[in-house]
Amino acid sequence: MHIGIDVGGTNTDAVLMSGTTVLAGVKRSTSPDVTSGIVDAIQALADQHAFAPGQISAVMIGTTHFINALVEARRLAPTAALRLGLPATRALPPLVDWPDRLREAISARSYLAHGGYEFDGRPISPLDPDELRAHAADMAAHGIRSVAISAVFSPVNHDLEEQAAAIVGEVLGPDVAISLSHEIGRIGLLERESATIINAALRELAREIVDGLTAAVRARGITAPIFLSQNDGTLMDEEYVRRYPVATFASGPTNSMRGAAATSGYATCAVVDVGGTTSDIGLLVGGFPRETTTEVTVAGIRTNFRMPDVLSIGIGGGSVVDTQTAEVGPTSVGYRLTTEALVFGGSTLTATDIAVAAGRAQIGDPSLVAHLDPAFVQRVLDRIAERVAQAVDRMRTSPEPIAVVAVGGGSILLPDELPGLGPVVRPENYAVANAIGASIAQVGGEVDKVLAIAPGRRTETLDEVRQEAIDKAVAAGAVPSSVQVVEFDEVPIPYLPGDATRVRVKAVGDLQMGQVPA
């Protein structure tokens, strides 16, 4: 048996799975400290379907904490961005295209220093240790607690990033985390650098969250390995999350779409995931989330992450309803739903209260919303249906009919039929689809190596590398027939002889159930 947990901003969902069978599924409020919500959820699973801690072979967790922290611009560490590239790159310093709000939220300091490489591996200019020490001293004076270091052409040669990290680290001491751009991103300085700065700003929160998640699971006596979902639906261990929290960024939508596919049986459909604060709309094509093909903007920052193409609108179960206009959201009571919503004895009219008043859900005390005017309730529900339908329409790529699958606890807000789109499919276990998505993990095999490609041998050489990645995924526990190459990247290294090329391949497949990823 294994456990899947999805920690959202409002709810913590958990499922107990045996292979692909759902043995138990529960939904609990996310606690401000994260931990107690998970402890509650695991206890509730045990109440529904008894299990001994030793029977659990793995715990898979998806969390939106990191992306929420960025979107809400809170709980971010004071962060410095240090770029090695002078005298080049001066025209566009680090953070140049960041929104002011986020720059302020991370108390951002931006530094330019000498260093970096030309495309062919020649240094642009030598590192200047005194310059770096002076920058580091300034960071310390400004209370910087996390540093992102980028260097021009570090994907080709990362020596200078590492040397600079050593020098800066000496001045700042071991308590300041350092993130290096070549470990985070690919060619494309500004996007790689921004992703690295985001990662740096999340490092403290990552420590807190991972400690909290681990403590919560261990508190139940479960000693099985804990994994977190990455953007591409594969798993990473807790140690990796502490270093690279940015890699979990888009796991929420990925899990919800994969969960919707698994529970509904539709391989091609629009997925509407109604949570506590937002509705996220994405497209599933042939079983895989449709990804953005061009740049991805996260909280107003351009990055080069691979992410599912998702449209978020501010409608969820915790959304505050305006008693005058009948408009819903974007403000949400979030995890305070169980104290602030009318049905729980609170004083805020939320979308959940509307659903209960309309008889669509049995939550809290229905008598507390009995006074609501039925005409007003209907107006609110019509408005929700209209806005969700518009959003689905924006996401679909042709006027042809497409199945709409609704998941997430808030999907009780949706009607049985959406205007212009037809019936809404509500799979069994729809409320915990994200947790199911997290639990039907994928495992990956990655190869990253520098190869000399002999003339006329490119196709064979690259095929060999692809096969190596596929073999690694299978060895890690993937069902062989499900393995696909999802990423392939070839960076020529012109300063090395013999057409040297850095090749990175990632293959992923479904985890063979009953097996634990290696």
Partner 1 sequence: MSWTLTAADLPDLARGATLLGTGGGGDPTIGSLLVRQALGDRSLTILDPDELADDLVVIPTAQMGAPTVMLEKIPAGTEPTLALRTLEAHLGRVAQATMPIECGGINSMIPLLVAAETGLPVVDADGMGRAFPELSMETFAVYGVHGSPLALAGERGETVVIDTGDDDRQMEWLARGVTIRLGGVAHIAEYAMSGAQVRATAVPRTLSMALALGRAIRLARHAKRSPFEAIAQTLSTTLYPHVRELFAGKVTDVQRRTRDGFAKGWAQISPPDGVGQALEVEFQNENLVARLGTDVLAVVPDLICVVDAESAEPITTERLRYGQRVRVLGISTPELMRTPAALAAFGPAAFGLDVPFVPVETRVVGAPAAVG
For residues 493 and 514, give the distance between their C-alpha atoms in angstroms, rounded to a whole number.
42
Assess 249 for contact with partner 1 (CB under 8 A).
Answer: no
Q: Which of residues 374-393 bind partner 1 (CB under 8 A)?
A: 393
One-letter amino acid at 423 equals: P
Contact range with partner 1 by CB under 8 A, out of 42-50, 289-297, 325-333, 470-478: 289-297
488 binds partner 1 (CB under 8 A): yes
Report the DSSP beta bridge partners of residue 279: 274, 313
Q: Work out which of 104, 120, 416, 417 binds partner 1, going by CB under 8 A.
A: 120
Q: Which stretch binds partner 1 (CB under 8 A): 23-31, 117-125, 366-374, 412-420?
A: 117-125
Q: Is 370 in the site for partner 1 (CB under 8 A)?
A: no
Residue 159: strand, helix, or coil? helix
> What Rg value do the Cα atoms of the chain yield, rounded?
24
Alpha carbon distance 154, 196 (integer Å) = 13
CA distances from 351 to 21, 311, 348, 378, 382 (A): 31, 20, 10, 12, 12
> Max Cα separation, the chain?
79
Nearest residue (CB) to partner 1, 173 versus 399: 399
Provide the minimum distance between the beta carbon of 461 and partner 1 in the complex, in angstroms, as a whole number.
Answer: 12
Under DSSP, is residue 268 helix (H, G, I), strand (E, B) or coil? coil
207 burial via Cβ count (<10 Å: 0-12, 13-18, 19+): middle
Q: Smallest gap, in angstroms, from Cβ of residue 451 to partner 1?
A: 13
Residue type, 42: I
Beta strands across the sheet bearing 484-492: 442-452, 500-510, 484-492
CA distance 109 to 77: 12
Neighbours of 512 (CB within 10 A): 17
Q: Is 500 in the site for partner 1 (CB under 8 A)?
A: no
Interface map 186-225 toward partner 1 (x if CB under 8 A):
-xxxx-----------------------------------
The reply on whether position 457 binds partner 1 by CB under 8 A is no
Least distance (Å) between residue 369 CB and partner 1: 37
Residue in 33, 47, 97, 386 binding partner 1, rule: CB under 8 A:
97
Q: Report the residue from 294, 347, 367, 481 that binds partner 1 according to the rule CB under 8 A.
A: 294
The only residue of 486, 503, 508, 511 in contact with partner 1, by rule CB under 8 A: 486
Q: Backbone phi, then psi, for 408, in 5-degree steps? A: 95, 150
Alpha carbons 88 and 153: distance in angstroms, whole number: 12
- Measured in degrees and rounded to the nearest 5, phi and psi for residue 93 equal -70, 165
Options 458, 479, 502, 513; binder of partner 1; rule CB under 8 A = 458
Select the residue interacting with partner 1 from 87, 173, 374, 456 (CB under 8 A). Answer: 87
Q: What are phi and psi of 197, to 5 degrees?
A: -65, -40
Quick one: 281 or 349, whose CB is closer to partner 1?
A: 281
Q: Is 419 in the site for partner 1 (CB under 8 A)?
A: no
Q: Is 54 a binder of partner 1 (CB under 8 A)?
A: no
Query: Per CB under 8 A, does 96 bind partner 1?
Result: yes
402 binds partner 1 (CB under 8 A): no
| Residue 97 or 104 having the CB closest to partner 1 | 97
Which of 208, 446 has the CB closer to partner 1? 446
HEC-encoded secondary structure of 179-194: EEHHHCCCCCHHHHHH
| Residue from 387, 382, 357, 352 nearest 369 by CA | 357
Size of the site for partner 1 (CB under 8 A): 39
- One residue of 44, 73, 88, 516 binding partner 1 per CB under 8 A: 88
Among positive and negative, which fits the CA dihedral 214, 220, 222, 226? negative
Binding span for partner 1 by CB under 8 A among 56-64, 274-282, 292-300, 436-444? 292-300
Total residue length of the chain? 518
Euclidean distance between CA atoms 233 and 82, whole angstroms: 31
Distance in Å, CB of 89 to partner 1, minimum: 4
Query: Residue written as tokens 């969390």?
Result: 63
Could you say whether residue 164 binds partner 1 (CB under 8 A)? no
- 90 is a site residue for partner 1 (CB under 8 A): yes
Residues sharing a CB contact under 8 Å with residue 444, sequence separation 6 or more, in sequence order: 232, 234, 472, 473, 476, 478, 486, 506, 507, 508
Member of 143, 492, 498, 514 binding partner 1 (CB under 8 A): 492
Least gap, CB of 181 to partner 1 (angstroms): 11
Is residue 128 a contact residue for partner 1 (CB under 8 A)? no
- Give CA–CA dist 333/503, Å, rounded: 47
Q: Pull the structure tokens for residue 360.
A: 């669509």
Minimum Å distance from CB 98 to partner 1? 12
Is residue 153 close enough to count as binding partner 1 by CB under 8 A? yes
Task: Quote the crossing angle between the two packed helices 35-48 and 189-219, to the nearest 10°.
Answer: 50
Site membership for partner 1, residue 293 (CB under 8 A): yes
Q: Is 85 in the site for partner 1 (CB under 8 A)?
A: yes
Binding-site member from 59, 106, 152, 201 for partner 1 (CB under 8 A): 152
Both tokens of 199, joined, read 């990662």
For residue 469, what are its two tokens? 């990645």
Does the protein bind partner 1 through residue 71 (CB under 8 A)? no
CB of 502 to partner 1, least distance (A): 13
**CA 262, CA 104: separation in Å to the nearest integer?**
41
CB of 91 to partner 1, least distance (A): 3
Footprint of partner 1 on this chain (CB under 8 A)? 85, 87-92, 96-97, 116, 118-120, 122, 124, 152-153, 187-190, 291, 293-295, 302, 393-394, 397, 458, 485-490, 492, 494, 499
